[in-house]
């Protein structure tokens, strides 16, 4: 059964739709708007709606859409768009491009998670590890979140806010230090959003270090056992972690002699306890890797199994009948993520089936919401006129062909319209202090 129209709320470890059905969000990260290009990448190769049709065809039901405070400065204009393929975006600001993405997502039944990815123009998480910078203090971040919450209020396509991406380094949890306590800041930010919009799920990532225990950036939720988040509207809290594979960094657990069977215990201690104890839902907001080694593939298979609620690996859902496991958004849809690659290959059309087949067992069986309009292709001619999308796109003959996408453009990962070196868009996430740990 598809996700019902309307907003989502939480009940114990479950995300619940407006009909009372337990659901999970299983989607992709589509980055680029948070910095450099100020636009979700790939629109130089095809129409944004064609990109989203492909996501839907592959079975995803959500997009985690990164943004930054810098993106909202003035009337920031996007770059890297071929307007012959995206004619309705010409002259639009980046925020107006978001409006079009949200509108089309609603038409085809995809949900949107807005992700405050960073403060300044740039890539990956804030360099200082915090949720603010000198140029963009917490007050500016809250101002921007409230603006977005009001802008999309009442639109049940936008269902969640990931309050901030990958707190790490000096970020703390529950220690009362106003400058570094991410848990306290998350409550302030979330309650500010709820002052203008009480409908969204509010997703709170962890930190990197808690009680001398190191995790991925944003991936340490051990502190929530003693210092849980409390929002004014309580049934909207979803915790979030990031959990990458060994090709990103050889964390100690990847070198355990019992790998990969040791991974459930690692997850139990960090975030799985929330699911097992029926406390809160969890979104694994970023995970992945190149998946070109046996070790990477073993990590992925065990993580997907665990996210499905099969904690002991015996093929059954240990949460019980009718219960959903963790929600997730794979990093990334884009092929131009330097450390992971993407679901799409470098031509922005072909699917990396090693990755797709790895995450496919974790997709929500009910798919997305019911589409609010007809499918994009209205006839078999290849000509389409979809709500002002007057562009020529090759028509996929069937669902399998759609997943390979029939756009004639064959851009490589280093050919993104000449506006930026793709390797800068998402460098290796977890270096510096983590490597020293």
Residue 148 neighbours by CB under 8 Å, 6+ apart? 67, 114, 161
Check residue 372 and give its pLDDT.
72
Whether residue 15 contacts residue 356, with contact meaning beta carbons closer than 8 Å, is answered with no
DSSP notation for 271-316:
IIHHHHTT---EEEEE------SHHHHHHHHHHHHHHTT-SSSSSS
CA-CA distance, 25 to 318, in Å (whole number)?
Answer: 19
- 50: three-class secondary structure by DSSP: helix
Task: Please identify which of the residues 34, 138, 166, 208 carries the catalytic annotation.
Answer: 166
H runs (alpha helix) in 59-160: 94-108, 138-151
Check residue 368 and give its pLDDT.
80
- 367: three-class secondary structure by DSSP: coil
By C-alpha distance, which of 80, 83, 35, 26 is closest to 55?
Answer: 26
Check residue 424 and give its pLDDT.
36
By C-alpha distance, which of 237, 238, 236, 239 is closest to 221?
Answer: 239
Task: Please identify which of the residues 138, 187, 215, 286 carries the catalytic annotation.
Answer: 286
pLDDT tens, residue order, the chain (437 aa): 799 999 999 999 999 999 999 999 999 999 999 988 999 999 999 999 999 999 999 999 999 999 999 999 988 899 999 999 999 999 999 999 999 999 999 999 999 999 999 999 988 999 999 999 999 999 999 999 999 999 999 999 999 999 999 999 999 999 999 999 999 999 999 999 999 999 999 999 999 999 999 999 999 999 999 999 999 999 999 999 999 999 999 999 999 999 999 999 999 999 999 999 999 999 999 999 999 999 999 999 999 999 999 999 999 999 999 999 999 999 999 999 999 999 999 999 999 999 999 999 999 998 888 777 544 432 233 333 333 332 222 223 233 333 333 232 223 333 333 323 322 333 334 332 332 22
What are φ and ψ of residue 329, in 5° steps? -135, 115
166 belongs to the catalytic site: yes
Whether residue 120 contacts residue 136, with contact meaning beta carbons closer than 8 Å, is answered with yes
Check residue 373 and give its pLDDT.
59
3-state helix, strand, coil in the chain (%, to 5): 30, 15, 55
Residues present in the chain in total: 437
Residue 173 neighbours by CB under 8 Å, 6+ apart? 181, 182, 183, 206, 207, 210, 220, 223, 224, 227
215 belongs to the catalytic site: no
CA-CA distance, 335 to 339, in Å (whole number)?
Answer: 10
Check residue 1 and give its pLDDT.
76
Check residue 406 and give its pLDDT.
27
Task: Give the pairing type, strands 201-205 and 389-392.
Answer: unpaired
Q: pTM of the predicted model, to two decimals?
A: 0.87
Handedness of CA 133, 115, 344, 340 (dihedral sign): positive
DSSP 8-state symbol, 353: H
DSSP notation for 217-254:
TT-B-GGGGTS----SSGGGEEEEEE---TTT---GGG
CA-CA distance, 135 to 140, in Å (whole number)?
Answer: 9
CA-CA distance, 29 to 285, in Å (whole number)?
Answer: 8
Q: Which position has the token pair 């919401």?
A: 369
């Amino acid at each position: 059964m598809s996700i019902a129209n309307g907003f989502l709320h939480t009940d114990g470890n479950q995300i619940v739709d407006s009909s009372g059905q337990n659901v999970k969000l299983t989607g992709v990260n589509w980055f680029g708007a948070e910095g450099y290009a100020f636009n979700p990448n790939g629109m130089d190769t095809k129409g944004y709606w064609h990109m989203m049709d492909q996501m839907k065809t592959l079975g995803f039901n959500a997009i985690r859409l990164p943004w930054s405070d810098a993106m909202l400065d003035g009337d920031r204009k996007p770059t890297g768009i071929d307007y012959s393929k995206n004619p309705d975006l010409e002259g639009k600001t980046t925020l107006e491009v978001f409006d079009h993405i949200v509108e089309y997502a609603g038409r085809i039944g995809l949900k949107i998670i807005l992700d405050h990815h960073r403060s300044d123009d740039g890539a990956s998480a804030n360099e200082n590890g915090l949720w603010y910078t000198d140029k963009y203090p917490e007050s500016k971040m809250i101002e921007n979140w409230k603006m977005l919450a009001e802008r999309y209020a009442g639109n049940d396509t936008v269902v969640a806010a990931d309050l901030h991406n990958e707190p790490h380094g000096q970020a703390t949890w529950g220690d009362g230090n106003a400058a570094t306590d991410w848990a306290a800041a998350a409550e302030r930010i979330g309650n500010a959003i709820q002052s203008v919009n009480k409908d969204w799920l509010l997703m709170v990532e962890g930190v990197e270090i808690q009680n001398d225990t190191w995790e991925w950036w944003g991936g340490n939720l051990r502190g929530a056992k003693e210092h849980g988040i409390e929002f004014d509207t309580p049934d909207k809290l979803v915790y979030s972690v990031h959990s990458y594979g060994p090709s990103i960094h050889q964390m100690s657990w990847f070198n355990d002699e019992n790998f990969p069977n040791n991974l459930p215990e690692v997850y139990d201690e960090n975030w799985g306890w929330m699911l097992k104890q029926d406390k809160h839902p969890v979104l694994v907001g970023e995970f992945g890797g190149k998946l070109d080694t046996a070790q990477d593939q073993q990590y992925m298979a065990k993580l997907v199994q665990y996210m499905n609620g099969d904690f002991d690996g015996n093929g059954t859902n240990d949460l019980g009948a009718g219960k959903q496991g963790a929600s997730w958004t794979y990093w990334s849809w884009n092929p131009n993520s330097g450390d992971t690659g993407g679901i799409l290959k470098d031509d922005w059309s072909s699917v990396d089936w090693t990755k797709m087949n790895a995450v496919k067992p974790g997709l929500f069986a009910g798919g997305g919401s019911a589409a609010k309009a007809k499918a994009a292709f209205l006839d078999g001619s290849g000509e389409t006129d979809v709500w002002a999308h007057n562009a020529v796109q090759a028509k996929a003959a069937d669902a399998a062909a759609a997943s390979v996408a029939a756009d004639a453009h064959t851009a490589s990962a280093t050919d993104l319209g000449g506006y930026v070196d793709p390797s800068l868009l998402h460098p290796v996430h977890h270096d510096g202090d983590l490597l020293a740990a």
